[in-house]
Structure 1
Amino acid sequence: MPLAVQFEKYGDIDVLEVREVPTPRPGPGEVLVRVRAAGLNPGENAIRLGAFHDTWPATFPSGQGSDLAGRVEELGANVSNWSVGDEVIGWVDTRASHAELVVVPAEQLVRRDPAVPWEVGGALFVAGTTAHAAVRAVGAGQGDTIVVAGAAGGVGSLAVQLARRAGATVIGLASEPNHAWLADHGVVAVTHGDGVADRVRAAAPGGVDAFVDTFGGGYVDLALGLGVAKDRVNTIIDFAAAARTGVRSAGNMDAASAEVLEDLAKLVAAGELDVPIAASYPLTEVRAAYRQLMQRRTRGKIVLLP
């Protein structure tokens, strides 16, 4: 029987179990995918803790995970655009990708180019579409100066590159160990922490036009204090600050489409988008993977390899 990550109740990382489960079967318009890689995202941690129970309640036992890359194993009825053996990148909305086998709607898959590593494909959807939505929300364009907070994280590392592709000068807020990586990607690295506002002003003497917050913890107020207009500030995490101040809060759901995923995958295949992989773990070490993720000090993505 295939293995899958499940949990029986809301709680900390220790509620996660790797269990044998019945082999899932695809229905009409669906395919069964054997997962080669599946990314971890902070939102999954919040769901498991019960933080989103009022909006998206879990049904127990609950699975986990959205991102995935793998091979098509079986076709459901009325699926004509995929064949058994096709290599794919995609996502599910059923909290189920942290598993060896997962059923995926056929329209939520794109073809995997061999130039896209499995780990990268399996980590691309949530972070990539979130970064795409955030950069689009602030209207990144030629001549802009944009600050990205959490610039070396899973979303931030992609947002800085997408903003650069849009023609903006990008200032990335990150710890010193990540400065060289940011500089290599054309980003002006600035250390976060006490005094960051003064350091940003020094790095942007002409002012800041837009701000993308991928980390939370006061960056919305920092952006407004820097004089950035509300409609050019976007946070993907601090929803309370967005409600209080009126800034934007576009994220994954605002760009969740196969078309956006395909565009991102093409950039990766062409060497025009770097998706750093901080670590990979076997499925059976899912707890250790989440412990590393929740330290919030990784560069890029953490991936499970079923």
Structure 2
Amino acid sequence: MPKAYVFTRHGGPEVEAFADLPVPEPGPGELLVAVRAAGVNPVDWKLRNGYTRPGSAPATLPAVLGSEASGTVVATGPGVAGFAPGQAVFGCPLTGGYAEYTLMPVAVTAHKPDTLSFTDAATLSVAAATAYDGVRQLAPAPGSTLLVTGAGGGVGAAVVQLARHLGVRVIGTASAAKKDLVESLGAVHVPYGPGVADRIRAAAPEGIDAVYDLVGGDDLTVAAGLVRDRAKLISAGGKQLAAELGGAAVRRARNAAVLDEVARLVVGGVLRPHVTQVFPLAEAAQALRTVEGGHARGKIVIEVAE
């Protein structure tokens, strides 16, 4: 039977395990996909811990980990148009990406361009799409200054690149270990830690026009005290706190049109996924620990099949 990496109950890493699961059957509007690669994201371990996405039902256990994947269509469910077996796709799996087979809804699945690798495609449906949605929501003007908290992670790296493409000056907070990465993307690096507000002011003496927060907590609170207009503060890391501070959560589109657009930006050279580590499915635990520990530079991907 096909292998998958699951969580058997809500909790910490101790609830994760490999499991042999039957090949799922695609329902109406669904695709059965043989997974080639799966992106690793913070939401993966948050769902394992018990987080439930707004509007979603609690996970049916055991639940396969993984919120973004790429692969090849094996079969289509009733009423599906525009997709056929053998086609390469990427998107947001319904039944988890850390598996040899998964189901994908056609509403949040896109065709993979031939020039886009399966590894890079597996990073787009959560990380790159979240970055794209938020930058579009902020609509920063050319020449303005954007503060990105958590600029060295998968979403942060994409935010920096998209903003720089629009002619925006970017200040990126990240650990000292991620300084080279943040600067290579075209942002001014500011290290975390005590005194970060003063370091941001020194890096942007003209002030901060907008904030894209990916960290939450104290970093979001500091950022809120620096931005000119809190209506230009959005967060994917502390949504409730952002609202309390006068900002807003990142509004996710979650549709195939956005996936097509981010793929176009990658193929066109505007956006680089910055995959820094690739793990085999057998090492899914190590891949998730890298992200959960907050030490990931860029994107981490699990290669399920060659």
TM-score tier after normalising by the smaller chain length: over 0.9
Secondary structure of 1:278's aligned partner: strand
The residue number in structure 2 matching 1:215 is 215
Q: Say whether the 8 Å CA contact 1:137–1:248 is kept in structure 2.
A: no
The residue number in structure 2 matching 1:235 is 235
Secondary structure of 2:154's aligned partner: coil
Query: Structure 1 residues 69, 232: CA separation in 2 closer, same or farther (over 3 Å shift)?
Result: same
Secondary structure of 2:211's aligned partner: strand
Secondary structure of 1:218's aligned partner: helix
Instruction: State the Cα distance separating 1:133 from its structure 2 match.
Output: 2.2
The residue number in structure 2 matching 1:80 is 81
Secondary structure of 1:206's aligned partner: coil
The residue number in structure 2 matching 1:199 is 199
Return the letter of the residue paired with 2:9.
K
Instruction: State the Cα distance separating 1:49 from its structure 2 match.
Output: 0.9
Instruction: State the Cα distance separating 1:261 from its structure 2 match.
Output: 0.9
Q: Distance in 1 between matches of 2:237 and 2:79?
A: 39
Q: Say whether the 8 Å CA contact 2:95–2:102 is kept in structure 1.
A: no
**What's the Cα RMSD here?**
1.9
Q: Residue deviations 1:240-268, cap 9 Å, x none? A: 422422211115xx221111111101111
Q: Residue deviations 1:130-155, cap 9 Å, x none? A: 11222223231212101101101011
Q: Say whether the 8 Å CA contact 1:149–1:214 is kept in structure 2.
A: yes
Q: Distance in 2 between matches of 1:239 and 1:119?
A: 29
Secondary structure of 2:181's aligned partner: helix
Q: Say whether the 8 Å CA contact 1:35–1:97 is kept in structure 2.
A: yes
Q: Say whether the 8 Å CA contact 1:18–1:283 is kept in structure 2.
A: no
Secondary structure of 2:249's aligned partner: coil
Q: Distance in 1 between matches of 2:29 and 2:226?
A: 49
Instruction: State the Cα distance separating 1:8 from its structure 2 match.
Output: 2.1
The residue number in structure 1 matching 2:292 is 294
The residue number in structure 1 matching 2:301 is 303
Instruction: State the Cα distance separating 1:10 from its structure 2 match.
Output: 0.8
Q: Distance in 2 between matches of 1:110 and 1:36?
A: 15
Return the letter of the residue paired with 2:99.
A
Identity of aligned residues (%): 37
Return the letter of the residue paired with 1:39.
G
Q: Say whether the 8 Å CA contact 2:211–2:227 is kept in structure 1.
A: no
Q: Distance in 1 between matches of 2:144 and 2:71?
A: 38
- The number of aligned residues is 303
Q: Say whether the 8 Å CA contact 2:162–2:270 is kept in structure 1.
A: no
Q: Distance in 2 between matches of 1:53 and 1:138?
A: 23
Secondary structure of 1:85's aligned partner: coil
Higher mean Cα deviation, 277-286 or 255-264?
277-286
Q: Say whether the 8 Å CA contact 1:88–1:110 is kept in structure 2.
A: yes
The residue number in structure 2 matching 1:140 is 140
The residue number in structure 1 matching 2:61 is 60
Instruction: State the Cα distance separating 1:80 from its structure 2 match.
Output: 3.4
Q: Distance in 2 between matches of 1:289 and 1:14?
A: 15
The residue number in structure 1 matching 2:245 is 245
Matches within 5 A, 1:1-306: 1-52=1-52, 56-92=57-93, 94-251=94-251, 254-306=252-304
Instruction: State the Cα distance separating 1:227 from its structure 2 match.
Output: 4.0
Question: Where do 5+ consecutive residues of structure 1 fail to align?
Answer: none
Instruction: State the Cα distance separating 1:211 from its structure 2 match.
Output: 0.9
Question: Where do 5+ consecutive residues of structure 2 fail to align?
Answer: none
Q: Say whether the 8 Å CA contact 1:132–1:255 is kept in structure 2.
A: no
Q: Distance in 2 between matches of 1:79 and 1:303?
A: 28
Q: Distance in 2 between matches of 1:56 and 1:47?
A: 12
Q: Distance in 2 between matches of 1:278 and 1:227?
A: 31
TM-score, structure 2 as length reference? 0.92
Q: Say whether the 8 Å CA contact 1:14–1:287 is kept in structure 2.
A: no
TM-score, structure 1 as length reference? 0.92
Return the letter of the residue paired with 1:87.
A
Return the letter of the residue paired with 2:91.
G
Instruction: State the Cα distance separating 1:40 from its structure 2 match.
Output: 1.4
Q: Say whether the 8 Å CA contact 2:76–2:85 is kept in structure 1.
A: yes
Q: Distance in 1 between matches of 2:278 and 2:231?
A: 37
Instruction: State the Cα distance separating 1:53 from its structure 2 match.
Output: 8.6
Q: Residue deviations 1:55-107, cap 9 Å, x none? A: 74222222222201111112233333122211111112x34222101122233
Q: Say whether the 8 Å CA contact 1:67–1:97 is kept in structure 2.
A: yes
Q: Say whether the 8 Å CA contact 2:38–2:98 is kept in structure 1.
A: yes
